[in-house]
Structure 1
């Protein structure tokens, strides 16, 4: 979602800055950002933008919480309106795995199961988006994304079942 509202900024020497927004409904809002991190949210009289009807002082934590509430979440919309049934699992490569010491491409995991190995965790490192020539080692943990059935099928494949 692209931002369409435009703020104006006014420097407030010794205090911080004031950001003003005129909404589509004709309301005038301002946020004064103090140098110490405090914010003051102001609601102005539509007839006189210099006349503040009400204000709420917010500390940095409150400002962050309010920002989280105000920020649109397009993924939430998708979750509510599109059925996405994906899971993520961590699957270990054990010494019993037929793929220990072999390359990712040999598993044909995506072709056989529809699930994807999106990363490999090795000791304290992570390898995101491993290529087909990535060689598995005993102790690797595969990060697999797919449907419940697909991820379970990858677990069975890697375990040698």
Structure 2
């Protein structure tokens, strides 16, 4: 699918694409953090119909909903393309000293070189978790790195 990116000076960026059914859709990413979803009902690119607006928190929620299933798929594709790069899943057990503590406290990336790119928590996926993200028993961490790095994350969380 081709996505066209258009700079809107003073406003932000507009991304445009056509659906499989031929409908032209646009997403305006405003500098304020808001997003506007628009459609183009005719052939005139200046004829625009606002479908809906999302604030930053709403956009984050939609991103997690739509992006979560695809994150693991894309990382799997990436690891097939880059020799030596692997993906793994590491569980935070109830006995882990990091259950109830933040991701940053593990210092996993610094210590192993592996990156924790998502946390699967029940039915939810936290994509690109920050160091302030609290870990809970039962969380599954999606880890990208060398096999040695992934094993290192397992050892850290098992301690």
Query: TM (normalized to structure 1)?
Result: 0.48
**Greater fraction of residues in helix:** 2
Query: TM (normalized to structure 2)?
Result: 0.49
